[in-house]
Structure 1
Amino acid sequence: MVQVKFILSCWYLIFKVWVTLCTPDQDFSKNEYVRFFETFKDVIGNKFLRPVKNWTTPVQLNITLALYEIIGVDEKAHILQTYIWLRQFWVIEFLVWDPADFDGLNKVSIPVDNIWHPDLYVYEFIEEDLSPQIPYMYVISSGRITHDKPLRIVSSCNLNIFYFPFDIQTCTLSLGPFLHTASDIVLGLHQTSEEITSESKENIQNKGEWELLNIDAKTTIWQMQGEDWSKVIFKLRMKRRPLLYLVNLVIPSAFLMVIDLISFYLPVHQIDRGAFKMTLLLGYTVVLLIMNDLLPNNAGGTPIIGIYFSVCLALMVISLLETIFISNILHQTRSNSHKVPTFLKRITFSFIAKLICFSPPESHHEPAFKNPQSDPSEELVSSPAAQSSQLIQNLLTSLSRDILVIRSHLDYRSLHEHKQEEWIRIAFIWDCFLFRLYLLLLVVFFVILISCWCMWYNA
């Protein structure tokens, strides 16, 4: 067994020596990549060298971006979260070669940390960028650098939520160097605003709450501390998709308002309309408390939708007060002493009835009430000519007194019924007038609200 192992070890050593002797030496110095990095090792290894031969010449840096996602908008904190890809292009004058000298090598990837790159900064940044870092960038034979990197930007944005949920927001992303002035770096645009917008709309996959309208890009020079600074401003214009808020906020509130409007057709003298409206008002308040989480909480101003809910609540309170007023008028029909005041009767039948085109029925004269105590027939009993028929006269007098009492009672009931009819008629006229006034206020409010939303949303 030992001899077998010894023989195998000898054969393995013989094979290894033979392979070593027969394999030619590899000359890595002839590789085009090795020769390239050996040639430009002073440039590639010096990341502090600004890539211009004349130190007075600024570096021309062209940038563009593609918006990939609108992550979210915080109306309370005025924060916009976006995810973009930033592309940078500049020329390193020390890194120019002829591809024929390196076996046709025209494009090389270089580590980002081993070569000069601009210190671009988003001025609206309020949180640290947590996006992944790209370790390499490309350089072509003309010296042009292409550096692409993703950015998760959490930036400040002045949001106007007055037209929520039909609002259109414009947020600004300003990119510029952190330390280099315009004498060192001059920024330019690699693409037009139309090209940036078109590419961004193609890249956005999530059909969330926000829709991108356009991206306007421009370059500018601004002064600070006596120095000129170059920067590029991207203005993101986006529109909120309001379907979620329409289904969960506006439409349920509108349904409750329609129910409140239809409740005016309940006969107030037969059904307790006030209890129904009070229940409806309580339900609307509960709905507002539940939907409070969906509304933007912003100290900068109250949105139109907040005004809409407040006005709807106020209209429902006004509707309840109208029912209380009409119920108070109808309560007078149960009173035995109150008559319709003259001024109320004059205002109702002379002005309000004509205003709502109501023709009241012809009024009847109030029946006269006679006191049975003042019947003159009792004085005829003592006539000397009627002594023989005293018994008959007494019977007739008693019958006449009973008939007068019955007539007085009927006149009193007729007077009471006439008074009730007047109060009911006045209540009906005022109910019709206040209902039409309420309907007019409701229509005017909704027309103004819808007009404001539509004009802003289609602007």
Structure 2
Amino acid sequence: MLTVWPNSNMTWKPENYCGITTFAAPRNMVWTPDIGIKESIKTEFGTRESPYVLLLSEGSTLSSDVLSLTTACKMDLFRFPFDTQICSITLQSTVYSTEEVQLDVATDKASINLESKEIFQAQGEWELIDINVTKANMSKWIEVNQLIYQITIKRRPLLYVINIIIPVFFFLVLDVASFFIDTNASDIVTFKMTLLLSISVMLLILNDTLPSTADKIPLIGIYCSVIFCLIAISMVESILVNFLKVKGAEKRSVETTSTVNGQDDSVIDQQNPPDSVKDQNEESYTLNRLKQILTECRVATRRKQLSWIRLARIINLTFLVLYIITIIVFMSVLWKLWYYP
């Protein structure tokens, strides 16, 4: 940080002193302003002041300090990782009032932004967007002049998109694809349970990434939680469909057993000849009535079986359509809030 202030008592003509225009003097021999940073968090190696200041022949004093600054900045993580943050650095004097010390910028805003972006070339998580400088006065015990730097930075979201957003979306796509798997329903439930466990791991990673002091739930948290709930509801629907299909299969098993028993009885009756023709006619009439009753029960059972299976198919198809519509609406609204504020 370069600080320049006028010093009319230290002026000279360079031609009278062998053309010397600058002179390095010990800091403790020259008055220096006590400029501090309001948002600074004190650290052991926060500031390294140079032991010298530079005196200029026209009556100015220049001080160059190296700052390792740690500041407190309130962040809004609602649109994480597509968020833009504005942090302030406030320079002010702790002792001198506005009548004694006035702070001003040595260069214009365009030069500040150009030089800052040239320095801010590290390919890290943040990208420097803009630096705006304003002046203000603060009145507490005395009126103090302030110089406020508002720094606008934007997060680079590629890392979080690749590691969290895309994998969770693929889990949702796999869940939709599981409706078209022609296999046992228990295997589908196991597959969806694996998806739920995978999203749970993503939620744990997200919990370690985001601070727990946010005022609002970030959209990425809503994104993962809603997808988790959708897959859980889908798994419950698969369990219900499986239950209906199993119930229909049980009805079919009962029908097959009844048919076999009826056939066995007829065979046994044919192997035992009647005592008289009258008894034979009565038994034949009874057997025909029993066969008619069994046929009617079989038809009724088959209809009931088909009704359970048909109900399972209707529920599955209806849920799939509503599921896809819900996903499309949810993703559209979320993307609008996320990327287009």
TM-score interval, normalised by the smaller of the two chains = 0.7 to 0.9
- Which of 277, 281, 293 does residue 196 from structure 2 map onto? 281
1:441 to 320, 326, 329: 326
1:299 deviation in Å?
4.5
Which structure 2 residues correspond to residues 353-392 of structure 1 after superposition, within 5 A? Answer: none
* AA at the equivalent of 2:78: F
Identify which of 279, 295, 298 aligns with 2:213.
298
Secondary structure of residue in 2 paired with 1:176: strand
Counterpart AA for 1:412: C
- 1:144 corresponds in structure 2 to 60
Q: Deviations over 1:227-279 (max 9, x none)?
A: 32111000111011111111211112111111112112235776543233223
- Provide the TM-score with structure 1 as the length reference: 0.64
Matched, 1:209 2:125: yes
Cα shift at 1:420: 1.0
Partner of 1:406: 291
CA distance in 1, matches of 2:231, 2:185: 21
Per-residue deviation, residues 192-241 of structure 1 (Å, max 9, x unmatched): 2222111100012311011111111111222222x321110001110111
Q: Does 1:191 align with 2:76?
A: no
Change (3 A) 1:416 1:269: farther
Q: How far 1:402 moved relative to its partner?
A: 3.6
Q: Which residue of 1 aligns with 2:233?
A: 318
Does residue 237 in structure 1 map to residue 122 in structure 2? Answer: no
Provide the alpha-carbon RMSD of the alignment. Answer: 2.4
| Aligned partners of 1:268 and 1:327 also within 8 Å | no
Structure 2 letter corresponding to 1:247: I
Q: Distance in 1 between matches of 2:19 and 2:131?
A: 40
Tell me, what secondary structure is at the counterpart of 1:187? coil
Question: Which amino acid counterpart does residue 254 of structure 1 have in structure 2?
Answer: F
Give aligned-pair identity as a percent: 30
Unmatched tracts of structure 2, length 5 or more: 253-274
CA distance in 1, matches of 2:187, 2:53: 79
Aligned in 2, Cα 1:91/1:287: closer, same or farther, shift over 3 Å?
closer
Measured against aligned partners, the alpha-carbon deviations of 1:292-332 in whole angstroms (never above 9, x if no partner) come to: 32233324332111111111111111112212232333343
Gaps in structure 1 of 5+ consecutive residues:
1-85, 338-389
Corresponding residue for residue 162 of structure 1: 78
Tell me the equivalent position of 1:259.
174
Shift of 1:180: 0.7
Q: Report how far residue 448 of structure 1 moved.
A: 1.4
Structure with a larger share of its residues in helix: 2
Residue 218 (structure 1) aligns with: 134
> Using the alignment, how far apart are the partners of 2:186 and 2:224 within structure 1?
28
Render the CA deviation track for 1:377-417: whole Å, top value 9, x for unaligned.
xxxxxxxxxxxxx9666655544544443343333222211
- Give the match for residue 88 of structure 1: 3
Q: Distance in 2 between matches of 1:270 and 1:171?
A: 54
Q: 1:412 to 1:267 in 2, by over 3 A?
A: farther
Alignment deviations for residues 122-175 of structure 1 (CA, whole Å, 9 cap, x no partner): 011121353432222222211122222221111111111111111111111000
SS in 2 for 1:196: helix
1:31-110 paired onto structure 2 within 5 Å: 86-110=1-25
Distance 1:309 1:394 in 2: 77
Aligned to 1:341: none
CA distance 1:291–1:302, shift in 2 (3 Å):
closer
Secondary structure in structure 1 of the residue aligned to 2:89: strand
Tell me, yes or no, if structure 1 residue 247 matches structure 2 residue 162.
yes
Distance 1:141 1:134, change over 3 A: same
Contact preservation (8 Å) 2:77, 2:214: no
Q: Could you tell me how far apart the structure 2 residues matched to 1:130 and 1:443 are?
A: 51
Aligned to 2:270: none
Change (3 A) 1:414 1:268: farther
SS in structure 1 at match of 2:117 = helix
Contact kept? 2:185, 2:239, Cα under 8 Å:
no
Give the aligned length. 318
Q: In the aligned structure 2, how far is the partner of 1:194 from the partner of 1:269?
A: 67
C-alpha separation between the residues in 2 aligned to 1:425 and 1:169?
55
1:124 to 9, 19, 39: 39
